Amino acid sequence: MQALSQRRFFPMYYARGVADVTPEFIRGCGCSALLLDIDNTVSRVDAPEATREAEAWFDTLRRADIPMAFVSNNDPERVEPFARRYGAKYVSHAQKPRREGYDRAAQALGHAPDACMVVGDQLFTDILGGNSAGMQTVIVEPLCEAEDPVAFRKRRRLEKLLLRLDRLLCARRRKIGGSQNENHVSHRL
């Protein structure tokens, strides 16, 4: 309840997909580095590469000189080759929502926590972890909800409930971007 009352469960910003998190928006929030979830945020689960949209976004970030690191609860066999493909630093087995993985990733990029923006698709890992680490947080719609196993889907339902509550209270003004991304199959926002 303490986390709930402190809004630690809730994202600071909502976006349909990563492309809405533009360099202008990132810098406008006072941030200069990105810490990214992988599965269902920039890549379909266990796909070896990011979606084409995410790859184009990586290029945009690179041109804008905004470094990124991947922070994933997945194992090194999944995370390391994925990060290497994009020349990014990474933390695998991050144990999100613990903040340590985010702290390590921020350190690896040489940025203070409050200069980092976390982007992910799950409240109970990405958003709670990023908020706990004192970072700004953006939730995106999951790329392929239908592939989630049953337990995952139950958690998604609870997440949706909380997000709806948050949206009712005050989230509308914090929604960013307006892309219609065909990769995103859910309509959580």
- Considering the complex, what minimum distance in angstroms separates the CB of residue 65 from Mg ion? 26
Count other Cβ atoms within 10 Å, centred on residue 51: 21
- Which residue, 32 or 119, is less far from Mg ion as judged by CB? 119
CB of 169 to Mg ion, least distance (A): 24
Q: Is the dihedral of CA 80, 85, 144, 177 positive or negative?
A: positive
53 in contact with Mg ion (CB under 5 A) = no
Q: How far is the CB of 37 from Mg ion (least distance, A)?
A: 4
Q: Using CA atoms, how far apart are residues 102 and 174, in angstroms rounded to an integer? A: 23
The nearest distance, CB 120 to Mg ion, in angstroms, is 6
Output 20 or 39, the one with its CB closest to Mg ion: 39
For Mg ion, which residue of 20, 37, 103, 141 counts as binding (CB under 5 A)? 37
Contact status, residue 85 vs residue 102, Cβ threshold 8 Å = no
Residue 51 makes CB contacts below 8 A (sequence gap 6+) with: 42, 43, 44, 143, 183
How many residues sit close enough to Mg ion to count as binding (CB under 5 A)?
A: 4
Tokens found for residue 62: 């690179």
Q: Is 121 in the site for Mg ion (CB under 5 A)?
A: yes
Using rule CB under 5 A, residue 159 touches Mg ion:
no
The reply to whether 40 sits near Mg ion by the rule CB under 5 A is yes
Minimal distance, residue 122 CB to Mg ion, in Å: 5
Residue 141 burial by Cβ neighbours in a 10 Å radius (0-12, 13-18, 19+): buried
Paired with 89 in beta bridges are: 69
Binding residues for Mg ion, rule: CB under 5 A, are 37, 39-40, 121
